[in-house]
């Protein structure tokens, strides 16, 4: 008998926070702070639950970006907690396009809720937790044009799981066993005149943070252990503060 289960974190709303997937996007936006909470399959015992906070920003309008992400991920008896820091840099390809590189690194720890295990005294639990502080990291590329098109490629797991007892893990995970590809349209409308309140008075100013009304994205998640997954998403910007999104 062969069984498969979800082990990689899945986030919603890629159109809001691309940084949780791709560290290269840290160099494309000014300061952003996001808090995530996602609970899959309500009513099913042991279903995945993930909570995360991320911060990222480009530095002083340069092509350098920094970021941080911390998360907890519970599924079944397993619970993982990680923190990582990211560095991103962009280089011009043409006058109207840039290629961004991103690399993140940190640490991850795993625990097992043995109180709910069928056999809490199973020695495999002790072996699993004896070496559960491990490195974590990801690598990302992002090609972005002024026309709004962007293409991304991510290796979300640069370091595969490692345990003291190799008999616990029969499959060695390599960096290319999990990959994510993205394509999107998100056009920034620099120079567009908008009405803003300045010192209590409404005035017309040039916007620097306004995007075209419609944004569209497609993600493809590849894993050598499970079937690939496509996800299509869209976001409609009604104004600078109100939007509607779906996937």
* 11, 33, 48 from 107: Cα distances, Å: 19, 21, 20
Q: Model confidence over 157-176: pLDDT tens digits?
A: 998 765 544 455 556 678 99
Task: Supply the DSSP string of 137-206, one letter for each residue.
Answer: EEEEEEEEETTSEEEEEEE--SS----SSGGG--S---GGGEEEEEEEE--B-TT-EEEEEETTEEEEEE
pLDDT tens for each residue of 23-44: 999 998 888 999 988 888 888 8
177: left (phi over 0), alpha (psi -120 to 50) or beta: alpha
Mean pLDDT in residue range 220-230: 89
What pLDDT score was predicted for residue 118?
72
* Residues making up the chain, counted from first to last: 247
Helix (H, G, I), strand (E, B) or coil at 136: strand
Residue 153 has pLDDT above 70, yes or no: yes
pTM: 0.81
Q: How do residues 89-137 score in pLDDT, each as one tens digit?
A: 999 999 999 999 999 999 998 887 777 777 766 766 666 666 678 899 9
Are 164 and 134 contacting, i.e. CB atoms less than 8 angstroms apart? no
């Amino acid at each position: 008998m062969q069984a498969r289960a979800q082990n990689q974190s899945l986030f919603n709303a890629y159109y809001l926070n691309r940084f949780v997937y791709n560290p290269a996007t840290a160099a494309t936006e000014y300061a952003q702070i996001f808090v995530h909470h996602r609970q899959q399959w309500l009513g099913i015992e042991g279903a995945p639950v993930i909570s995360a906070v991320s911060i990222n920003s480009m530095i002083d309008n340069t092509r350098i970006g920094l970021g941080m992400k911390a998360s907890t991920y519970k599924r079944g008896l397993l619970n993982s907690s990680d923190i990582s820091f990211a560095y991103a840099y962009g280089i011009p390809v043409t006058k109207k396009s840039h290629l961004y590189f991103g690399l993140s690194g940190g640490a991850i720890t795993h625990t097992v809720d043995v109180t709910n295990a069928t056999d809490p005294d199973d020695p495999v639990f002790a072996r699993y937790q004896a070496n559960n502080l491990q490195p974590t990291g990801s690598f990302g590329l992002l090609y972005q044009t002024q026309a709004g098109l962007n293409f991304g490629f991510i290796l979300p797991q640069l370091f595969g799981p490692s345990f003291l007892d190799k008999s616990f893990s029969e499959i060695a995970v390599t960096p290319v066993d999990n990959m994510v590809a993205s394509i999107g349209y998100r056009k920034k409308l620099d120079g567009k005149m908008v009405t803003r309140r300045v010192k209590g008075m409404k005035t017309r100013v040039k916007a620097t943070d306004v995007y075209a009304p419609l944004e569209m994205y497609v993600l493809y998640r590849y894993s050598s252990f499970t079937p690939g997954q496509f996800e299509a998403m869209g976001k409609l910007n009604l104004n600078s503060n109100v939007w509607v999104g779906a996937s």
